[in-house]
Amino acid sequence: MTIELQRPVGDPIVLDDPGRHSFRVDRRAYTDEDVAARELTRIFDRCWLYVGHESEVPGPGSYVARDVGGRPVVMARGSDGVIRVFANSCTHRGALICSQPAGQVRSFRCPYHDWTFSNQGDLVGVPIPDGYGPGFRKADFGLARHRSDTYRGFVFVTFDPQQPLTLTEYLAGATEYLDLVDDQSEAGMEVIRGAQLHGAQANWKLMMENSVDIYHFRALHKRYVTYMESLGSVPPRRRGGFGRALGLGHGANELPPAAARPLAYWTPMFGAEVRPRIEATAARFVDRFGPERAQRITGTNRALLVFPNLMIIDAIAITIRKIDPVGAGRMAITSVALAPRDEDPDIRELRKSHYLTFLGPAGFATPDDIEIIESCQRGYLNRTVRYSDLSRGMNKEVPETTDELPAREFWRQWDRLMHGDDGHHVEAAHPGGAHGTGPR
């Protein structure tokens, strides 16, 4: 217990000292259940959170049921075509009104007492209604609707009716990167069926950090590097590119591809047969967007962190990774692939194939990420080592992708929200973010 006595509750967790190029995080942030409980109220109850992609609810009545910020919700497209997000809980006694993960319905029926709600959330059926007095009005018992909005196909929700920012304001500089993803198809992007549902016995923030950490790539992922070398792609030790802080906790890395990109960047690993098609696509992007922006869309990799718990990694394939805390020491991970709706079938197969090679719980890289963050979590059991260091690149004007700028942006926003400063109000006045937006 002496260790605990050395750590008064009010001790700062994030120690940010730009003058000394020092940035440290107290490892209580990853291990303390009180911190985890506070994150739910200070962060997940307030921020805009990613729910899903509009392509997951393509037609009237289609829905998905999932947990967001620890709460069961239903994202449904009503018969009127509008996408809404509801609390997945009957307004009568609380049972889940939707126990299938996905489907298409005209109405949701609670299995407990058969209360029935339209796919627009209205209570439309109550068995044996004479059990209620004249003051009972169905209109008072519609499904609880959360405030939701969509940016370029990405649907977000906030559980805070007082959230002062619109979704677009909240996304700040991250919109630039969502645009680069959604611009990849004129027909629209779609989530490919088949989710990779897994997790880790580690704090959720470790996966957020890992997902914007390029520094570890050649060390931890030697086997993937070996695999790429066997296919004729040799990633350099210094990848080039740069990291960016996008404001409000969002960050990104942008860097030259280490391998092919199925949209429009061919390398020999894709085989000669599809080369003309891929190069024709690249030419169409030049026509649509001009050479500079086309190159950025088609010929550049990026990893985008949207605070607090969304990652979009656009490289050998596009993955949308939603990371949910489960107490201090566990997390749930949902990963899906995003692709152009009108993609050539052969190229779609290449995309899926190479997605699986790198990503997911059985890929040649992600399992090592899972294991290493679980290793970090176990390492924190030795509380003598109090801090983790995230200072790489603080000595540079433009941090590289092997630096830790996006992670610092995440932590700075985390610290503001956890300690009561309303980061949302503060940052709204500076849409570029308080810590610079890097190049471009």
- Which token pair is 77? 């497209």
- What residues numbered 302-361 form the site for another protein, per CB under 8 A? 332, 336-337, 348, 352-353, 355-357, 360-361
Q: Are 381 and 328 in contact (CB under 8 A)?
A: no
Q: 45-82: b or e for each residue (b if 16 or more CB lie within 10 Å)?
A: bbbbbbbbbbebbeebbbbbbbebbbbbbbbbbbeeee
Q: From the list 375, 379, 383, 389, which residue makes contact with another protein (rule: CB under 8 A)?
A: 375
Q: Does 101 bind another protein (CB under 8 A)?
A: yes
C-alpha 340/C-alpha 355 separation (Å) is 14
Query: Would you give the end-to-end CA distance of the chain in angstroms?
Result: 50
Q: Are 65 and 74 in contact (CB under 8 A)?
A: yes
C-alpha 406/C-alpha 307 separation (Å) is 10
Question: Stretches 47-55, 80-88, 220-228, 270-278: which one binds another protein (CB under 8 A)?
Answer: 220-228
Q: Does 96 bind another protein (CB under 8 A)?
A: no
C-alpha 314/C-alpha 77 separation (Å) is 27
Q: Does 379 bind another protein (CB under 8 A)?
A: no
Q: Cβ 214 to another protein, closest distance in Å?
A: 17
Q: From the list 106, 222, 238, 341, which residue makes contact with another protein (rule: CB under 8 A)?
A: 222
Q: Cβ 269 to another protein, closest distance in Å?
A: 12
Q: From the list 58, 103, 164, 194, which residue makes contact with another protein (rule: CB under 8 A)?
A: 194
Q: Cβ 368 to another protein, closest distance in Å?
A: 5
At residue 277, the 3 state secondary structure works out as helix
C-alpha 413/C-alpha 424 separation (Å) is 9
Amino acid at 434: A
- Which token pair is 358? 């790198």
Q: Cβ 232 to another protein, closest distance in Å?
A: 13
Question: Stretches 10-18, 112-120, 187-195, 430-438: which one binds another protein (CB under 8 A)?
Answer: 187-195
- What residues numbered 354-373 form the site for another protein, per CB under 8 A? 355-357, 360-362, 364, 366-368, 370-372
Select 233 or 295, whichever has its Cβ closest to another protein.
233
Q: Does 269 bind another protein (CB under 8 A)?
A: no
- Which token pair is 42? 């200070």
Which residue, 280, 91, 317, 279, is CA-closest to 189?
317
Q: Does 67 bind another protein (CB under 8 A)?
A: no
Select 48 or 380, whichever has its Cβ closest to another protein.
380
Select 192 or 286, whichever has its Cβ closest to another protein.
192
Write the CA distances from 260 to 264, 278, 310, 350, integer angstroms: 8, 10, 24, 10
Write down how long the chain is. 440
Q: Cβ 426 to another protein, closest distance in Å?
A: 36
Binding site for another protein (CB under 8 A): 101, 192-201, 220, 222-223, 226-227, 230, 332, 336-337, 348, 352-353, 355-357, 360-362, 364, 366-368, 370-372, 374-375, 378
